[in-house]
Each structure stands twice: as C-alpha cells, then as structure tokens.
Chain A
Amino acid sequence: MRGTVYFRRYWQLYALLVLPLAYFIVFKYGPMWGVQIAFKDFNFFQGIMGSEWIGLDAFREVFHSHDFFNTLRNTLMLNILDLIVSFPAPLILAIMLFEVKFQWFKRLSQTILYIPHFISWVIIGGIVYQVFGTQSGLVNNFLAALGLGPVPFLSDKHYWLFTYLATGVWQSAGWGTILYLAALTGINRDLFEAAEVDGAGRLKRIWHITLPGLKTTIATLLIINLGNMIAIGFDRPFVIGNKMVMDYSDVLSTYVYRTGLESGQYTLATVVGLFQAVVGLVFVLGANYASKKLTDEGIL
C-alpha cells in the first residue's frame, strides 16, 4: 500500500528522469562500454562485439611507439608552459583592475578584456595566422619597424611555442580575472584603510593585504590546473598547430584524431584515449586529495 501511495505522489519525478538517465546511459556509458575495443582488433564490419580479442597487443604497440611519447611529452610541455605563463596573467591583471579608481575605465577594460574568451578557437586560429604571418602579419610589421625580423612565428617550432602561449594568454587572461576580482570584493575594506593610516604604499598594500586575501583562490585554481595536466583541449593545438611544427604541436588529443579518424587505426587511438582518461582520473583525484589536505576543502 505504501508503495502505491509513494508512487502516486512521485511518479512524475521518475517520468522526468527517464530521458535524462537514458541520455547518460546511451551517450556516456555507451562509449565506456565501447572502450573494450582497446583490447580488440576492431573493424566496423564485425562491430564491437564481433571483433577479435587481442589482449594487450595494442597497448604494447602504443607504448613502443615514438609518436605516442612525443605527443605525451608535448601535452605535458604545453600544459606546464601554459601554467607558468597563463596562470599568473589573470592574477596580475585582476590586481591591476582592482587598483583602478575610475569605475568607467575599469568596467570598459573588463568588457574588452573578456571578449577573446567568447571567440571560438577556429576564429582565433584564423586571426593568429594573420597576426603572426611573416608576410603581412601585425607582429612582424611591428618588428620590421624596429629593424628586426621577419620571425617565423608559425613555421619554426620554437617560435611557435611563443605563438601558442601568447595566444593562450590573450584568450584567457581577461576572463580569468573574474574569480580573483570576486574574491577581492570579499576582503575587509577596513584592512585597506588601516594600511593607509599606517602609511603603507600601494605596492606594500598589494603585497601584504591583497595577495594574502587571494591565497585560497590561487591555491584552488592552481590545484585544479595541476589536476588537468594531462588533459588538453583539441581545438587549440589543432587549429594553431600545423605540419611544420608537428614536433611540438601534436598532442594526445590531436594524435587520437589523427590515428583514429584519419588513418582508421581505431584500436590504437582508443588505447591512447583510455590511457589519457585513466591517468587524467588519477591526476584529478590526486589534486582533490591535495586540496583537502591544504585547504580542508575538496575541489570535487
């Protein structure tokens, strides 16, 4: 009896959940089930079930391949460089914006600095090739005016690293200020006034009040970043990279695309994807553990 009362009262909730759960099971758990092809000699004619088991053969092949280690190295290298360059940028920018007294100037700067975040990587790629080109590019025009260049920003792999990182800062620094600025509004105003009374200069104030006020935000964001060290988006390296700089621009996500969908080596590509997913999971759980130790609060 109680069961029917319960059901009469709540059946609508289950009705609402049917489609969303079906979605998760088909489109999220379906591919997880499909991961078994990492252990099979997959081809489309025989399907996932019909393909033959090959055990760890594909793993052995991947872990003996030079390309795989190259893309793994590039993934870590680009992420670490990004962390060094792109991580402090929004912090510095936020502190600078926070110090601005004219509200209209602050608001206008924010509006403009946020824009690149909403531009797709394909568009950014198009812009990057114009701005960094050797023939008519803005940067090389500027360098030429100084009597320098032309610098092969797009075709030399070392200069390309600069292009990749600069583009990242341009795209993300403005938007990244939001969380810092929000944390800054939480700092007690009295502290700033007290510092002023004590005769502390602006730089001292930033060092002793503003930065400590941002400590938890910085730590949390840093940990999240470290947790994502092996994860890398597809669009950015794919559209900014090119054949000339493949040595550095080929990362795990683009490698999976290339081997799997361009060359049809589905099994190998799935192995690489699985490797990335498993190591990524370990990283994220590790980051969460570290966060709990440091700030008593998990990031998950």
Chain B
Amino acid sequence: MTERTSNRIFDTVNVILLTIFVLICLAPFFHIAAISLSSTRAVVSGAVTLLPIDLDLRAYRSVLSDMSMIHSLGFTVFLTALTTVLCMIMTVAAAYPLTHTKLKGRKVFMFIIVVTMFFSGGIIPEYILVQNLHLLNTVWALVLPGLISPFYLIILISFFNGIPNSLVEAAEIDGATQFGTLFKIILPLSLPVIATLSLFYAVGRWNGFQDSLLYITKTELYPLQLKLYQLVQNSMISDVTRNEGPGVLHSTPESLKAASVVFATVPILLVYPWLQRYFVSGVMLGAVKG
C-alpha cells in the first residue's frame, strides 16, 4: 500500500467518523422535535425516531396558548437582560480600580476577592442569608447573589492590564479624571472582552436553575428553566416508575413535554450561530490566565 492511498484511507475514515459523531450530536434534537410533532398514538407505539409520524401540531398549540409559559419566557428575557447589565457594571467597577498599582489597599482587596474563588459558605448559609435579607420570591434573589464572578473579574483585570499604560498616562496629563479615563480610554478599547463576558453572564443566567429552585416559589417569578423542570421532570419521575408496569397511560402526553423542551431550546439555537465566535474567544481569554 503506497503512502498516498493510506493517507486517503485515513482521511476518509476520519471524515466518516466525524460525520457520525456530528449526527449523534444532532440526533437527540431531531428525536425530541419529532416527538413534539407526532400524534400521541404514534409516540406511545414507539414508532417515532427522527422524523414526525402523523404530523400533529396540537402540542405546540397548547404550549403557545399556555400564558404561564409565555410569561415565563418574557420574565426570563427580562431577568437575563437585567442580570447581564448589572453584573457587567459591577465587574467593570471592580476591575478598573484594581488595575491601578498605585491604589492603596489593592492587595487587600484582591485577597478578599480571590479567597471567594476557593472557599464558599455553601448553599444553606446562602439560603439563610437570602431569607434574612427578605429577598425570597423576588427578582433580586436571582440577581444579587451572583453579581460578580471572581473568575470573570480576573479575566477583565488582566485584559485592562494589557492596555498600554502610556494611553492612560497621556489622558491623566491631559487632566482626565479617573472616570474620564475609564469611559474614554479603557472601555472603548475593551468592547470585545466586554461583549464576551456579558455573553457568559447572560448564558449563565438564562440556563441557571438551582437558585430559582431554592429561592422562588411564586409562579409569576418562575424562570423558564424552573417552569420547564416543573412541567417536564415532575411527570417524568412517575413515568420511570410506570415504565416498569406496561399498559398505564401517561399523565402529560409525551408530545407536550417534548414541545415544551423544544420551546425552551429554540431561543438558544436562534442566537447561538451569531454569537459562537465570542464564546470561543472567551474560552481563550480564560485560558491565557490559566
């Protein structure tokens, strides 16, 4: 076998295997979409794999006419926007002073922040704190506890540190205040990293689940993840038990659960292709620091 043919075999096998992996990656999405679009009878008989059978849009009609679902989506959009803006303001406000080596007390401040990356009080003391601050069942319970990620803060500090000092000094000689330097010099140069970190905050909030499980019992304040959990998972636990004994009908039709999952997934799939490169650059930002 010549070298060229063996190379060609390698390339072919490689591409075929990758194609299979990509298809495996996509298959669950197609399966759940197919179930959401199929009739209950087709789903229960186990005939649905990757394409819908007996096309049936009723599941979507009931998801979209469920006002609590729409409300939850709207609330999550609002919550994500609010969280992202506040987190970013706070992170910038913390990062800028900490890049000034002349700032008295800087080391102490850094120490206070870094300690929190390695040790935390844990879920229960956090819950008691949120309860004592009377934040339970308010939007703020989902916003305030996570305002600044120390990891993102350190990424931002190291990015600010990379901005040439001469620019800052020139501004200071021109009589710019610290605020002036921050807004006129530092921030305009940091837009890509700010976009990336905002995106990470936004995705974290959008996908966040545990805090809403702990802090929110009022249905008007259910973020989409909690709403979906209540709708899909609660009935699943009984399904697993039921699967043991055949012949029992389901309480929530599978297609309705699947349609709800699709409903919650679509927003992410819609924005993801446009934002992919910011995510990738974000990973690299984190990696530079270690």
Contacts and interface: CB of A to CB of B under 8 A. Distances in A.
Contacts of B59: none
A16 B46 CA distance: 60
A30 B121 contact: yes
Contact of A27 (B15, B45, B144): B144
B175 to A, nearest CB: 11
- Residue of A35, A108, A120, A131 most packed against chain B (CB within 10 A): A120
B258 A130 contact: yes
Contact of B125 (A9, A34, A44, A122): A34
Would you call the interface of chain A mostly helix, strand, loop, or mixed?
helix
Contacts of B7: 201-202
Contacts of A19: 90, 93
B288 to A, nearest CB: 10
A259 to B, nearest CB: 9
A240 B27 CA distance: 18
A285 B128 CA distance: 29
B243 A152 contact: yes
A297 B290 contact: yes
Interface residues of A, number: 107
B113 to A, nearest CB: 6
A141 B236 contact: no
A116 interface: yes
A131 B120 contact: no
A96 interface: yes
A199 interface: yes
Interface stretch (B61-69, B96-104, B188-196): B96-104
B219 interface: no
Range for the number of chain B residues in contact with chain A: 35 or more
B77 interface: no
A146 B227 CA distance: 37
Nearest to A13: B97
Nearest to A182: B284
B46 A126 contact: no
- Residue of A9, A44, A127, A174 most packed against chain B (CB within 10 A): A127
B44 interface: yes
A261 B214 CA distance: 8
A31 B126 contact: yes
A297 B290 CA distance: 9
11 contacts: A34-B126, A114-B279, A114-B280, A125-B232, A126-B257, A130-B31, A141-B48, A155-B244, A261-B214, A277-B121, A284-B118
Interface of B: 3, 6-7, 10-11, 14-15, 17-19, 21-22, 24-29, 31-32, 35, 43-46, 48-50, 90-91, 93-94, 96-98, 100, 102-104, 109, 112-113, 116, 118-129, 131-132, 144-145, 147-148, 177-179, 182, 203, 206-210, 213-214, 225-226, 228-229, 232-233, 236-237, 239-241, 243-244, 254, 257-258, 260-261, 264-265, 268-269, 272-273, 276, 279-280, 283-284, 287, 290
